[in-house]
Amino acid sequence: MRTRILLIDDDLDDQLIFREIVEEIAPEIECVDAYNGLEGLNLLAGMDPAPTMIFLDLNMPFISGWECLERIRKDQRTSHIPVVIMTTSDNQVDKKRALELGARAFVTKTADLASLRLTIRKMLTAPPIS
Amino acid sequence: MQHPSVNTLLAEIEELKAKLSEADQLIQAIKDGEVDAFAIGSEAGPEIYTLQTGDYAYRILIEEIGEGALNVTEDGLIVYTNKAFHGLVGLPYEKVIGTNVSQYIHPDSALHFKELFAEALRGKSRGEIELAVDGAVIPVFISLTSLQPNLATVGIIVTDQSEKKRNESTILNYQNSLEEKNMALLRTNEELASFAYVASHDLQEPLRKIQIFSTRILEKAGDSFAPDVADYFRRITEGAKKMQRLIQALLQYSRLTISDVRFVPTDLNALVQEVRNSLAETIEENKATVVISALPEVAVVPHQMSQVFSNILLNSIKYKRVGADPFITISTQLVDSGSMPVSGPHKPQRFWQISVADNGIGFDPAYSERIFEVFQRLHAASEYQGTGIGLAICRKIMQAHHGHITAQGKPGEGSVFNIYLPLNL
């Protein structure tokens, strides 16, 4: 079975680009999309095997990325999965809070495709934390 | 010793009789109230004695004075009232005489008045009470004086405070409404700032998409573009980049108001040195020289003040004159607010004037105010790149520092930017 990652982002443009980049740099990885927090958590609960990494937007309807992050970290079944925050925010307060809540990384969405590619590659190839 | 003659004695007796009769008549006249004043000759000239005139004058004064005057027995019975008091309580003289003063006191003030009256029986007292007249409440200030031992009564002066209270409440109303307006203004300002922040933040999003997908098109199909299409495309991406710079500058500008600021005593020498280091590459590229003479220590928001110096230095370098390497000097002097070329009222105060002078292209003095406005540019964007927001940021920061920034210039002769920081914040 292919390695799977979960992308939770309500921005369909960002979803498209993200999927294309993942396919480009790691075609063996399957990318599952959810376009809001509620859908993301539901999908996550039913994924077997669980995704190896979750990319999570913060500002989303229904259930925000913040709440998603907290729930993912609290749930024993998902607390081991690294969560990468991908947001339009470049606010240091947001970044600090996200890392304190247990996010692996905090990435500000950029207009620069090359740097986005680099970031995703770095995240996907990073060794799992013990 | 020679004895006076009988005739002389008789004459003296007549003279004394006449003087006695004159004195008798005078005393009678005084008794009858016919005499207001009389003069008695003395070596120092005539001395004037008045009887009724004195009383009369005082009576008229008391009658006509604007304040109420009462004479009240120890039991509170009114034995005298002037016009002002019976006018205040809206009753004729006869209706007030013989009444008890307590009937004019508002029930809420009864106890306080009783205390004041008791105190006055031992000397003097004064205080604020309220009168109740025909259902109306009149705030008054009363001053009580015992007239003992000459008279077994208490004199009361009553000052109507209605107008004063009205004025006080008017002033209070003005104050309140002023405070409300201030708060509203503050709120509007905050809302505007956060609006500008949110707006520019949200504007960035669609722009980011334009940039990302433009790049994607170039990656996937750029090779097959005809030259003119490639040119159009380059213009689109350049426009997007420029818009991004503008939005980021706007964001930076609006953040100035919403970010919290802390004033720290700062050695401006170190601060400007740091700014120069951070611009080292640009300074070198443009063969610029920056000469800094001794600067003061001032309480500032360090990162903001760094930005002011950075923006001004970059400005000087950007607008360099062709054929002349940028030469920039930074100097300081203490000035009085009166000598500052700053419009508008400000209290007299001493300021540090820090001048950044360059040998660049200068500018028309007519624009010395306009260059600090947001998005105002004196040159075509094709000539000099920029967002037109750098100096606006400088001005906003200087305002937050209770200071000023001004610019002087002449075309072709360079510019001087003066930063004013109050000596005592």
Grouped pLDDT means (10 residues each) for chain B, 425 residues: 79 91 80 63 63 68 90 91 92 91 93 94 92 90 90 91 90 92 86 76 87 92 92 90 84 71 89 92 92 92 91 92 91 85 70 93 86 75 72 90 90 91 80
C-beta contacts of B212-221 below 8 A and 24+ residues apart? B212/A13, B212/A17, B212/A111, B212/A113, B212/A116, B213/A13, B214/B240, B215/A113, B216/A17, B216/A20, B216/A113, B219/A113
Both structure tokens of B72: 């009240």
Report the SS3 class of residue B330: strand
* pLDDT of amino acid B413: 87
> Mutating which of B194, B205, B237 best tests the A interface, going by the most A Cβ atoms within 10 A?
B205
Cβ B71 vs Cβ B148: under 8 Å: no
Residue to substitute from B202, B203, B215, B248, interface A, most A β-carbons within 10 A: B215
CB pairs under 8 A between A and B: 24
Write down the pLDDT at residue A123.
87
Q: B203 to chain A: nearest residue by CA?
A: A88
* Residue B214 near chain A (CB below 8 Å): no
Surface of A (87-116) touching B: CB under 8 A: 88, 109-113, 116
Residue B397: helix, strand or coil by DSSP? Answer: helix
Residue B178 gets the label, from left (phi > 0), alpha (psi -120 to 50) or beta, of alpha
pTM here is 0.54
- What is the torsional sign of CA B177, B179, B182, B183? negative
CA distance B42 to A20: 126
ipTM over 0.90: no
d(CA B85, CA B90): 8
Q: Residue B179 carries which DSSP code?
A: H
Q: What are phi and psi of B137, to 5 degrees?
A: -105, 125
Contact list, A116 vs chain B (CB under 8 Å): 212
SS3 B287: coil
pLDDT at A55: 95
Judge whether residue A57 has pLDDT over 60.
yes
Question: According to the model, what pLDDT value does residue B311 have?
Answer: 93
What phi and psi, each to the nearest 5 degrees, are found at residue B127?
180, 175
Condensed to tens digits (0 to 9), the pLDDT of residues A102-130 reads 999 999 998 888 998 998 888 888 765 54
Interface check A13 vs B, CB under 8 A: yes
Q: How far is A110 from chain B (nearest CA, A)?
A: 7
How far is the alpha carbon of A38 from chain B, nearest alpha carbon, in Å?
23
Contact yes or no for B423/B334 (Cβ under 8 A): yes
Cβ(B82)–Cβ(B61) below 8 Å: no
pLDDT at residue number B337? 78
How far is it, in rounded angstroms, from Cα A126 to Cα B75? 101
Best to test chain A binding among B194, B201, B205, B212 (most A CBs inside 10 Å): B212
Neighbouring C-alpha atoms within 13 Å toward the C-beta of A78 = 26
In B147-199, beta strands by DSSP E: 153-160
- What letters, b where the CB count within 10 A reaches 16 and e where it falls short, cover A29-65? bebbbbbbbbbbbeebeeeeeebebbbbbbebeebbb
CA of residue B305 relative to chain centroid, distance: 28
- Tokens for B150, please give them: 């000459």
